[in-house]
Amino acid sequence: MNPYAIRTHDLSKEYNGEAILKKINLQLERGRIHAIIGPSGVGKSVLLRLLNLLEEPTSGEIHFDGRALKENDRLELQRRMTLVFQKPVLFNTSVYENVAYGLKVRKENRRSILEKVRKALEVVDLKNYEHKRARNLSGGEKQRVAIAQAMVLEPEILFLDEPTSDLDPRNVAIIEELIKYINEEFKITVVIATHNMFQAKRLAHEATFLFGGRIIESGKAQEIFTKPKDRRVLRFIEGKMIF
Amino acid sequence: MDYILAGLKEALQLLLSFDRETYTIIFLSLRISGTAVLLASCLGIPLGALVGLHRFPGRGVITTILNTCFALPTVVVGLFIYLFLSHRGPLGMLGLLYTPGAMIIAQTILATPIIGALSLVAVKSVDPAITKSAISLGATRIQTTLAVLREARVAILAALIVGFGRVITEIGAAMIVGGNIKGTTRVMSTAIALETGKGKFELALALGIILLTIAFLINAGLYYLQRIRE
């Protein structure tokens, strides 16, 4: 098995002629938690959407398991990974139906769906929420449903786009514990986009700093946070750069 | 004033005594308009979803046609269907003129753009993030479209109600292609016109009450659906 779940080669994205991402070369090692760090508007979310095949790059390539993406493989690849959005996007139905959605589109049998959904809801501590209307939940609960929705699919790669940006400290702690648990227990590769350096420090094994649409530093999180090579990263870590 | 009150009294008697002719007309109207709305929803909802969710050449043209046909004059539709189904018309061999089938065709043509245009608005009003979320959760294109339609279900149901309200009350096309034949193609709207012309207000009023009740129920349904959405 290829040690890298995803590798990108000169990945670029433009919107209306404006370059958002410029020649991104990224290697995401399997089974690790990767943090994509950078200020707002730097292209973190765009990068996640490109990696999750929700958008097309303007140029460059994405390699999965060491192989370049082929159009025929798109659905199969998409079903091996999933993205949790910054603001949880839930269907206007029950919590159970929301969490079961990904399994239903994969045509899993009803008994298996029931078991998996219940287990996922237990993990996110929403055991008795099955019949509640998802849109009536609090922000933290919604985000936990969104994580259960993704987790129940047992993806190889879980993308999280600023998953705690709108949450209170208690819910931030709950979500962070969940992310660690998912990574350790299920060996899921986690890619988290965050502007919160402290969160990245708490969670990530690997870190990539994005600035001006480019990667300015990438490597082991521990090393980057203790001995950064790039002065902008150093300023950021010292709290002199507002992200 | 007396004859109006007398007419109302007799109309209520017709309804409460389950008068055979009155109820034949009511059920025929419901059957024809119900079938037409069912067929129109099979055409209009997918069309609205296609135009609302996908980009392709000619999308703007289809949207404009749908919006134009939203207010199709019923007599014009009736006239065209008549020309197609008459003995000399290209579909004359089907022998559909002056049958409920012809009325269903006409009403389907009237209801399809209404349901299509309102479905289009309904799917466009769904948060675009729902599409991305469904794809991210592994849905195919069709499954994603169905997920969006499901999100828009209340607005689409409202579209069906509006379409039904439009066709059950229309008279022009029903009169031209149905011929208002007693027991076969006589529906509430055409019967009201006929009975009023004959000066027989009881049946006309009885059917009028039913039509008003249906209109009231439709509006009440729409109001309720809007409350749910809010």
> Does residue A29 contact residue A220 with C-beta atoms inside 8 Å?
no
pLDDT of B15: 83
What is the band of B201 on the pLDDT scale with cuts at 50, 70, 90?
A: confident
Contact A89 B132 (CB under 8 A): yes
Give the CATH number for residue A228: 3.40.50.300
Distance from CA of B183 to the nearest CA of A (A): 45
Average pLDDT over residues B27-42: 96
Stated length of chain A: 243
- d(CA A108, nearest CA chain B) in Å: 13
Q: Is the pLDDT of residue A240 over 70?
A: no
Q: Is the pLDDT of residue A46 over 60?
A: yes
pLDDT value, residue A121 = 95
Least confident span in A35-49, A108-122, B107-121: A35-49
- Paired with A207 in beta bridges are A35, A219
**How close is the nearest chain A Cα to the Cα of B125, in Å?**
14
Taking contacts as CB-CB distances below 8 angstroms, the residues of chain B near A52 are 136
- The residues spanned by each domain of chain B are 2-229
Partners of A149 on chain B (C-beta within 8 Å) are: 137
**Residues B40/B69, Cβ–Cβ less than 8 Å:** no
Which residues does chain B have within 8 Å of residue A101's beta carbon, measured at their own beta carbons? 134, 137, 139, 147
Query: Within a domain: residue A159?
Result: no
Residue A9 vs residues A24, A30, A78: alpha-carbon distances, Å: 7, 17, 19
CATH value of B2-229 in 3.40.605.10, 1.10.3720.10, 2.40.37.10, 1.10.274.10: 1.10.3720.10
Task: Supply the pLDDT for residue A235.
Answer: 82
pLDDT above 70: residue B140: yes
Chain A residues whose CB is inside 8 A of the B134 CB are 101, 105
- Using CA atoms, how far residue B149 sits from A38, B52, B162, in Å, is 36, 11, 18
pLDDT at A208 over 90: yes
**B22 vs A33, which has greater pLDDT?**
A33
pLDDT at B137 (0 to 100): 94
How many helices (H) and strands (E) would you count in chain B?
11, 0
Write down the residue that tokens 């195919």 correspond to: B140
Residue of chain A whose alpha carbon sits nearest to that of B152:
A92
Q: Any alpha helices (H) in chain A, and if so which ranges?
A: 44-51, 74-78, 95-105, 110-123, 139-151, 169-186, 197-203, 221-226, 231-237
Asked whether residue A182 is assigned to any structural domain, the reply reads: no
Tell me the average pLDDT across B65-71: 86
Domain hosting residue A37, numbered range:
1-73+192-243
**Could B132 and A85 be called an inter-chain contact, meaning their C-beta atoms sit closer than 8 Å?**
yes
Could A91 and B150 be called an inter-chain contact, meaning their C-beta atoms sit closer than 8 Å?
yes
Q: What is the pLDDT of residues B142-154, one digit of tens each?
A: 999 999 999 999 8
Is a pLDDT exceeding 80 seen at residue B92? yes
Residue bearing tokens 């004359």: B92
Q: Which of these ranges, A81-90, B190-199, B216-225, has the smallest mean pLDDT? A: B216-225
Helix spans in A3-52 (H):
44-51
Is A235 part of any domain?
A: yes
Predicted confidence at residue A2, as pLDDT, reads: 79
CA dist A80 and A65 (Å) reads 12
pLDDT of residue B55: 87
Is the residue at A233 inside a domain?
A: yes
Q: Which percentage of chain A shows pLDDT scores above 70?
A: 98
Please give the C-alpha separations between residue A64 and each of A67, A151, A177, A192, in angstroms, as whole numbers: 5, 20, 28, 18
Confidence at residue A242, expressed as pLDDT on a 0 to 100 scale: 52
Confidence of residue A220 (pLDDT cuts 50, 70, 90): very high
Tell me, what's the pLDDT at B41? 97
- The pLDDT assigned to B209 comes to 87
Closest CB from B129, B139, B150 relative to A105 = B139
pLDDT digits 0-9 by tens, A188-197: 999 999 988 8
What's the mean pLDDT in B149-165? 92
Query: Is residue A9 situated within a structural domain?
Result: yes
Q: Which residue of B143, B150, B151 is in closest CB contact with A105?
A: B143
* Residue among A85, A102, A149 minimizing CB distance to B129: A85
Position B84 confidence tier, pLDDT thresholds 50, 70, 90: very high
Q: Are B110 and B164 in contact (CB under 8 A)?
A: no
- Nearest by CB to residue B138, choosing from A91, A93, A106, is A106
pLDDT band, very low/low/confident/very high, at B229 (cuts 50, 70, 90): low
Domain annotation covers residue A87: no
Structure confidence at residue B32 (pLDDT): 96
Residue B85 pLDDT more than 90?
yes
Smallest CA–CA distance, residue B123 to chain A, in Å, is: 14
Please give the tally of structural domains in chain A: 1
Using pLDDT thresholds of 50, 70 and 90, give the confidence band for residue A44: very high
Phi, psi of A208 (to 5 degrees): -130, 125
The backbone region for B3, taken as left when phi is positive above 0, alpha when psi lies in -120 to 50, beta otherwise, is alpha
